[in-house]
Amino acid sequence: MRPFVLVVLLLLALVVMVNGLATWDRARHEARIARAAAAFQPGLALLGYRDTDERRFQKARLAVIPRPRIVAFGSSRVMAVSTPMVGAAPGEFYNAGLSGGSPEDFIVLWTTLRDRDKAPEAAIFAIDNWTFNRSHPQVRWLAWADEVARFVDTQDGSPAWGGSWVPLVLYRWYQVKDLLSFSVFRSSLRDLDRLLAGRPARGAEIVRSLGTELIDARDVDGHRALLADGSLRYETSYERRGPNEVRADAIDLAVRLRGGLGAFAWDADRVRRLGSLWRDMRKHGVRIVAYLPPYHPVTWDLLRRDDGAMAGLVETRVALEALAAGAGASVFDLSNPASVPCGEDEFLDGNHARASCMTRILSRIGTRSP
């Protein structure tokens, strides 16, 4: 029995050593990313944003920016919202939107702010109409699966708040479990193998882009670029597409993709996670305003005749209203562009609104400062 115990202890020691080394190396790498992210100052623009890991990039930016007064969370449909649109002063607003952003992404971005005492006064949530549709693929957040699970298991993910020892114990258990985990061990081996082979670590392209592709925002010259407040500026060629081309996109979104509402299968887990997030934010004094973004009028006209898609949208709206009532948040269903109102010429495609429409949305939901 004694040799067996010794072998087990040696194996555990090896796992802890490898996981510890990988954790140390990741911490060094994350520090390099943070230093690069801090160089992205107001007045600059990043041209290479599309070639970076958006999630790692946004998390790094939230860790280094000053405490914002307003933060926007959502998918690409909210990424065009900028500081002037919300009527904020420079440095008061940050757009934490992500391509395909889901509630799980919002959890990690929120805890990045919260754990650094940067909780904003207000949060704007653009909740995509397909958010709770399990049939609509939402897998990018899985890169943060452990952090999301930690948030859920620690009951709002707040080990330092709430006056209870239970969240702290669970949080510490996760830290110890990571060091002993064989699944983490396999990931650690891959990371160390990459390091020994001289291959770049995940997120190395962020450091490279921030080192070579930051330019004066006045020199963007019609290119797609990300500004220092997190807002996205589209390239001129995309913004100048003709109405027929935009309308073709709008029809495709409704007919082929059914607005992301096709084969609607309710995702109760995602609803619970969003509710947990909102309750934690409210506990920290954040005012929450959420909205379902509008579709292009042509897309909407086609979708409202699709009984299955509309049933999913109604179920989504009802769930959001229930979550809002429980968390003290506000929710607006602006799926119908006439409710904003926004016309055909105020969309870039089937569901991405132009600046004029976005500004009107912010006024409609009461988050635009006078």
69, 157, 65, 177: which is closest to 106 by C-alpha?
Answer: 157
In three-state secondary structure terms, 272 is: helix
Give pLDDT tens digits for 133-157.
998 877 777 777 778 888 888 754 4
Average pLDDT over residues 259-284: 93
Work out the pLDDT band at 12, boundaries 50, 70, 90. Answer: low
For residue 208, pLDDT over 50 is answered with yes
Q: Grade residue 158 by pLDDT with cuts at 50, 70 and 90.
A: very low
Specify the pLDDT at position 200. Answer: 58
Amino acid at 48: G
Residue 350 has pLDDT above 90, yes or no: yes
pLDDT of residue 160: 41
Q: What residue ranges do the domains of the chain occupy?
A: 2-364
Rounded mean pLDDT, 263-269? 91
Is it the case that residue 288 has pLDDT exceeding 80? Answer: yes
Chain segment 211-237, per-residue pLDDT in tens: 889 999 999 989 999 999 999 999 999
Q: Are 18 and 189 in contact (CB under 8 A)?
A: yes
Return phi, psi of residue 336, to 5°.
-80, 115
Q: Taking residues 67-95, report their average pLDDT.
A: 96
Rounded to an integer, the average pLDDT of 184-198 is 57
Q: Look at residue 197 in the predicted model and tell me its pLDDT.
A: 60
The answer on pLDDT for 252 being more than 70 is yes
Query: Would you list the DSSP string of 319-346?
Result: HHHHHHHHHT-EEEE--SGGGTT--GGG
Residue 201 scores a pLDDT above 70: no
Identify the DSSP state of 260.
G
When pLDDT is averaged across residues 98-123 and rounded to a whole number, the result is 95
pLDDT of residue 9: 60
Per-residue pLDDT band at 21 (split at 50, 70, 90): low
Q: Pairing relation of β-strands 287-292 and 122-126? A: parallel
| pLDDT value for 45 | 95
**What is the reported pLDDT for 35?**
85
* Confidence bin at 4 (pLDDT 50/70/90): low
Residue 336 has pLDDT above 90, yes or no: yes
List Cα–Cα distances, 45 to 77, 198, 259, 367, in angstroms: 20, 30, 32, 25
Q: What is the pLDDT of residue 149?
A: 83
Segments in 256-366 forming alpha helices (H):
268-283, 297-303, 307-327, 355-364
pLDDT at 367: 82
Greater confidence, 130 or 9? 130
Torsion of CA 308, 312, 313, 314, to 10 degrees: 100
Report yes or no: 320 and 277 within 8 Å, Cβ to Cβ: no
Instruction: Reply yes or no on whether the pLDDT at 166 is more than 80.
Output: no
pLDDT reported for residue 303: 96
User: What percent of the chain lies above the pLDDT cut of 70?
Assistant: 78
Phi and psi at 42, nearest 5°, equal -50, 140
Say if residue 203's pLDDT is above 50. Answer: yes
Separation of alpha carbons 132 and 248, rounded Å = 26
The pLDDT assigned to 23 comes to 54
User: What average pLDDT does this structure show over 114-132?
Assistant: 96
Is 60 exceeded by the pLDDT of residue 283?
yes
More confident residue, 150 or 40: 40
- Helix 165-180 with 145-153: angle, nearest 10 deg: 150
Q: Of 159, 139, 157, which is closest to residue 149 (Cα–Cα)?
A: 157
pLDDT at 165: 44
